Chains A and B, each alone.
Chain A
Amino acid sequence: MSYAYLFKYIIIGDTGVGKSCLLLQFTDKRFQPVHDLTIGVEFGARMITIDNKPIKLQIWDTAGQESFRSITRSYYRGAAGALLVYDITRRETFNHLASWLEDARQHANANMTIMLIGNKCDLAHRRAVSTEEGEQFAKEHGLIFMEASAKTAQNVEEAFINTAGTIYKKIQDGVFDVSNEASSYGIKVGYGGIPGPSGGRDGSSSQAGGCCS
């Protein structure tokens, strides 16, 4: 399937906050209460539409535990968007956000769009982090913010799609030089995107064979 753009995402955050479940809900529209432990990295992909243009999201789901940080870091490069996830029922996962951000700032490109997600908002009765705190943190650090639930699917679509919308807008605004160095921003230009004089179009067709199958 052809696309106008491909955006590469990365999902980060502490272990057990629901990264893989968010991905599964987004790509497969289902929830698995006991998802397998993610070791290293897993992948997902889905097409979405923004501004009537087909956009493919290629999503890298990472392992959360500290010991995998050195591995996770290598996936920041060339990501256009990041979903930084914490668990509203576990305070410590919120407290660790700063160190995740630091990693991201250090290893990702400066224009990466970061969406902060307070997951498990269906468990409001066990809430340990208020919505306001989440909002406040996002505001301080220039992130988009949303509370979501991988279980009920609340705000899952929105989180992924709003992030893509922001990236798309950055392209329209000329923040990225997509005709030249799109790949370094985690963006690939396909059919109907802003044309790159040579590389882009062929690149997309080969990508479609390699990654969305």
Chain B
Amino acid sequence: MHETEIHDLSDDADYAAASKQGSSSMTRSDSSKRSSSSDPEDAEVVYLKDNVTIHPTQYATERISGRLRLIKQGSSLFMTWIPYKGQGSNARLSERDKNLYTIRAVPFSEIQSIRRHTPTIGWQYVIVVLSSGLAFPPLYFYSGGVREFLATIKQHVHIVRSAEDANVFLVNNFEDPFQRTLSSLELPRSLANGTPSSSFTGSPSDGNQERQEDHVSSVQQNNRQRQKNHDPARDLSIQVLEKFSLVTRFARETTSQLFRESLVDGHGPTEKRKNNWASKDHQHQEAALNDVENVPTKVPVASDPLEFDKLTLVWGQPRQHPLGPEEWSTFLDAEGRVVDPNALKKRIFYGGVEHNLRKEVWAFLLGYYPYNSTFAERQYAVSVKKSEYGTIKNQWQSISPEQAKRFTKFRERKGLIEKDVVRTDRSLPFYEGDGNPNVRLMHDILLTYSFYNFDLGYCQGMSDLLSPLLFIMRDESEAFWCFVSLMERLGPNFNRDQNGMHAQLFALSKVFSLSPPMVYTEFEYDKTLRLWEVLWTHYPSEHLHLYVCIAILKRNRVKIMGEQMDFDTLLKFINELSGQIDLDPVLRDAEALCVCAGENGAASIPPGTPPSLPIQDGSIYQQQDDEVL
């Protein structure tokens, strides 16, 4: 028993940290209420609804039911949603999920809007969107009560119905960027392009909700008629938004948990967590988790009215075929200028570039060729750059053995590069075999770069970035200058902060290298090239890579959550994903996520975040917990 207590204590610390996010934001925005909020005696439950359920996955067995409450404390209103204990067949999965999804005392001062959904078929649900742009998963009211919920809120906080959409209720915020985000969605087009989807998950039916309000569990399944003001475009965007809210929540929790563990947990998160979760002492744990008073065990609820959400959604526009030479020529004027760079980027974003065209097009994407340059200008620039490259290269080539003996830094860098180029992509025919001239070229380019940018020098991972460039450019000087452009792109803070640079390179190479470490097929390599050119378009966001990461996480969400992955396991799992990623659907998801997030997404990426993931040390983790998205 004694040990159990120790486990529970450690657990407590974990959950103190876990709930800190919620409560600290509460303190931040509402510091004057702090004293009252720390005193639960003051709290008055003004609304309580059982059988409010979230659907973490499309599987009915994985749904989590709980109790939704509005709590009045002083002049503040809070919302909580606490899952029931010990429900469901897959108890362990749901224990984990429950913790993940539990909503602990969110103050309404942090809520931006609430969207009500009253589908003709299925349960009514609401999506609560925070000012930060993050959304909680949809809360399905299995026993009705959405109207009452909104009415209660109205009694306590300022809430207005959006002029543009009668189902959106704005809290605190009168400008309504949420609305703008929604209307800026381009999704109908993309979905109309042939993506099968569950088309009736979220159809709003403005006139219908009142009648349905309290008869949800006995839904009229045949009632599929559409309302007169039904707008299919809106349906689709809502649907995507709904799914997106799941993803944001998940991604935030996952990453913040990951960071928290590596930061707070002094040691062995795997073991500790696993032991805790596996311990038979679920009751204790529950008590620690559910900071609020006892929640009843599951209340019986009617079965699923319709298994309408089993379809897997693929979002974003279907990928197009790669840009070919004929089409490419239409982007150029008679003298070879790219007439509309944005149109080009968009085209490449959706389809990539045919292999033979990459040499030319990548030079534009990377900024080595200016878009407004003519054929002749480029030809000239290439020759100038070639001689410039020769000059820099000569700087190290002219170092005599005697000089090198007295030049430790040079020897060290050269040694590192020599060691690394023979360990980079050697299973590719282009780089394989002893004495391969391309390996030699890679060495020369990297060493020249370390003279071109002496402050930065060489660091591991650079060879991975150079390899595809040399493979495509097939020319030493051009590969070098494209590499220079790429390094410039990888973040404005490179030269100021070497550590940041190194960390970014680490993150980049992890994220970008879709190829498995040992089995390196041409096909995998080609996917890497495709991903690169798509990311370089910076269309639709320069931080698209972040959305790509989320898309990848999302696609593996069931597995990650099902196996209760902790820091160690998650890292291992993600490591092993390389080579297993189905690029096109991931890109489509990423695009859709990016478009959906819109301004909210962009706003939550801290200004100055370079187009890469900052992963470095505790000091960075601390500040970005909430800002990963």
Q: Which residues of A contact B (CB under 8 A)?
A: 8, 15-16, 32, 34-37, 39-43, 63, 65, 67-68, 70-71, 74, 77-78, 109, 179-180, 182-188, 196-200, 202-203, 205-207, 209-211
Out of A32, A37, A70, A206, name the residue touching B420 (CB < 8 Å).
A37
Interface of A, helix, strand, loop or mixed by DSSP: mixed
In the complex the two chains form, is A206's CB within 8 Å of B278's CB? yes
In the complex the two chains form, is A39's CB within 8 Å of B461's CB? yes
Chain B contacts with A in 221-274, Cβ cutoff 8 A: 262, 266-272, 274
Q: How many A-B residue pairs have CB under 8 A?
A: 137
Could you list some 12 contacts between A and B, CB below 8 A?
A15-B420, A39-B461, A65-B459, A65-B460, A67-B459, A78-B269, A78-B271, A183-B272, A184-B268, A184-B272, A198-B279, A203-B275
In the complex the two chains form, is B278's CB within 8 Å of A197's CB? no
In the complex the two chains form, is B502's CB within 8 Å of A39's CB? no
In the complex the two chains form, is A207's CB within 8 Å of B279's CB? no
In the complex the two chains form, is A77's CB within 8 Å of B266's CB? yes
Q: Taking the nearest CB of chain A, how far is it from the CB of B562, in angstroms?
A: 10
Bound-state Cα–Cα, A40 to B578, Å:
14
Chain B contacts with A in 600-618, Cβ cutoff 8 A: 615-617
Out of A37, A68, A202, name the residue touching B278 (CB < 8 Å).
A202
Inter-chain contacts of A65 with B (CB < 8 A):
416, 459-460
Out of A42, A68, A180, A197, name the residue touching B502 (CB < 8 Å).
A68
Q: Taking the nearest CB of chain B, how far is it from the CB of A110, in angstroms?
A: 12
Q: Does B441 sit at the interface, judged by CB under 8 A?
A: no
In the complex the two chains form, is B463's CB within 8 Å of A199's CB? no
Q: Does B6 sit at the interface, judged by CB under 8 A?
A: yes
Q: Which of B22-30, B203-211, B532-540, B567-575 faces chain A? A: B567-575
Interface of B, helix, strand, loop or mixed by DSSP: helix
In the complex the two chains form, is A205's CB within 8 Å of B278's CB? yes
Inter-chain contacts of A70 with B (CB < 8 A):
499, 502-503, 616-617
With A43-B575, A183-B268 as given contacts, are A15 and B419 in contact (CB-CB < 8 Å)?
Answer: yes
Inter-chain contacts of A183 with B (CB < 8 A):
267-268, 270-272, 275
Q: Taking the nearest CB of chain A, how far is it from the CB of B604, in angstroms?
A: 25
Bound-state Cα–Cα, A203 to B461, Å:
36
- Interface bits B299-319 vs A (CB < 8 Å: 1, else 0): 000000000000000000000
Q: Does B426 sit at the interface, judged by CB under 8 A?
A: yes
Q: Does B281 sit at the interface, judged by CB under 8 A?
A: yes
In the complex the two chains form, is B271's CB within 8 Å of A182's CB? yes
Bound-state Cα–Cα, A105 to B423, Å:
30
Residue of A nearest to B431 (CB): A34
Bound-state Cα–Cα, A205 to B280, Å:
13
**Top 8 closest pairs, chain A to chain B, by CB:** A183-B271, A202-B278, A78-B268, A199-B275, A183-B268, A67-B502, A203-B275, A184-B267
Bound-state Cα–Cα, A186 to B503, Å:
26
Inter-chain contacts of B376 with A (CB < 8 A):
none
Residue of B nearest to A182 (CB): B271
Out of B262, B281, B416, B506, name the residue touching A74 (CB < 8 Å).
B262
Q: A43-B575, A187-B271, A199-B278 are in contact. List 6 more A-B contacts (CB 8 A).
A: A36-B424, A37-B423, A71-B503, A77-B266, A184-B268, A199-B3
Q: Does B72 sit at the interface, judged by CB under 8 A?
A: no
Out of B277, B278, B575, B616, name the residue touching A41 (CB < 8 Å).
B575
